[in-house]
Amino acid sequence: MHIKKYCIFIMTVLAFWTLGLQGGATAAPDPTEQMKPFLDNIITQLKSEEFQNDTTCNQCNRIVELASEHFDFREMSKRVMGKQWKHLTPQQQDQFTELFTKLLQYAYIGQVNEYVDKKIEFTGQRIKGNRAEVKTKLMDENKEIPVSYIMILKGDNWMTYDIIVEGVSLVRNYREQIFSVLREEQFAGLITLLEKKIANLEAGNDEG
């Protein structure tokens, strides 16, 4: 009799535990619903007169500040570095993340005006575990540009760590370039190259 009661108790606990897991799964945030207001805010900010009239340096800083709400630049840096990431010290990881983030902000500031007047259409999403892809199109009367945001779930927030534009992955593109430099110049050489590239971009004299 006691054994029967114990078994019923265990089954009840398991049933509630299973329901709890199912409830947690259904409560996961929707990546598209998080991305929509974020992109709307970005476009609004980029179109503002204050932003348009600001200095390039301030524009870059503002873009990174806004993007940091849904972009995980450290995760992006880790994936760009690939297998080499685990061989870096924490200080080297921080150094690379800082420089790579700065490189991105200067490298893409010149493309801002190409995108602010385009309409964004959300075309679908895929979720697998703690990974997601949100698919969009940037559209104007002349062209449609497919853009996908690759995300990882951290807490209650979907954070972007890669962007695929017309089938080209930002992470994969930079990973190939960085691997080539690391093979020839090692980490110190990579840092020197990044610092030089950023200095050229800041000065507006970048030729590459």
Reported as a single tens digit per residue, the pLDDT across 33-61 is: 999 999 998 888 888 888 888 887 788 78
**Domains of the chain and any CATH numbers:** 29-203 (3.10.450.710)
Which amino acid is located at 100 in the chain?
A: F
**Average of per-residue pLDDT across 136-157:** 92
Torsion of CA 134, 166, 162, 42, to 10 degrees: -70
**Average of per-residue pLDDT across 170-187:** 93
Please measure the distance between the N-terminal and C-terminal CA atoms of the chain and give it in whole angstroms.
81
Residue 155 near residue 167, CB atoms below 8 Å: no
Predicted pLDDT at 111: 67
Predicted pLDDT at 106: 80
Residues above pLDDT 70, as percent of the chain: 82
Q: pLDDT-based confidence at 110, cuts 50/70/90?
A: low
Which of 101, 93, 68, 113 lies closest to 174 in space, CA to CA?
101
Looking at the DSSP assignment, which residues form a beta bridge with residue 131? 128, 152
Q: What are the phi and psi torsion angles at 86 (to 5°)?
A: -70, -15
Of 110 and 148, which is predicted with more confidence? 148
